[in-house]
Amino acid sequence: MENPSIQSLVEAERKNDKIVFVSVLFKDEPSRAMEYMKANGLNFSVLIDDKNIAGEYRVRGVPETFIIDKKGVVRQKIVGPVQWDSPDIKAAINKLIAGGA
């Protein structure tokens, strides 16, 4: 399950003004998803897809992750679950930030 590791990364980077975490709700009932987040102590931004976001980014399933720079350019697409609080992921994010992404 990705969500606990996402929450851990969000908490670790909360004071970093160079990064923003946004989850997009895709093919799920918003009220059910919000209940799940509340019950599991998940506290990060969630957008509800109006079917345009998934189409624009060509999402085919979940989870899919996009790392997007401040200019809106997709720098990386990851398909499948990830351990977001791992040292490798943190290093990759820091490398993107350091490169001005």
Domains of the chain, first to last: 3-94 (3.40.30.10)
Query: What pLDDT does residue 100 have?
Result: 62
Residue whose structure tokens are 């345009």: 52
Q: pLDDT at residue 82 above 60? A: yes
Distance CA 72, CA 9 (A): 21
Please name the amino acid found at residue 62: V
Buried b (16+ CB within 10 A) or exposed e, 27-59: eeeeeebeeebeeeebebeeeebeeeebeebeb
pLDDT computed for residue 31 by the predictor: 92
The pLDDT > 70 percentage for the chain reads 97
Report the candidate in 79, 75, 47, 49 with the shortest Cα–Cα distance to residue 64: 79
- Kindly report, residue by residue over 5-33, the tens digit of the pLDDT: 889 988 988 888 888 888 888 888 889 98
Q: How confident is the model at residue 101 (pLDDT cuts 50, 70, 90)?
A: low
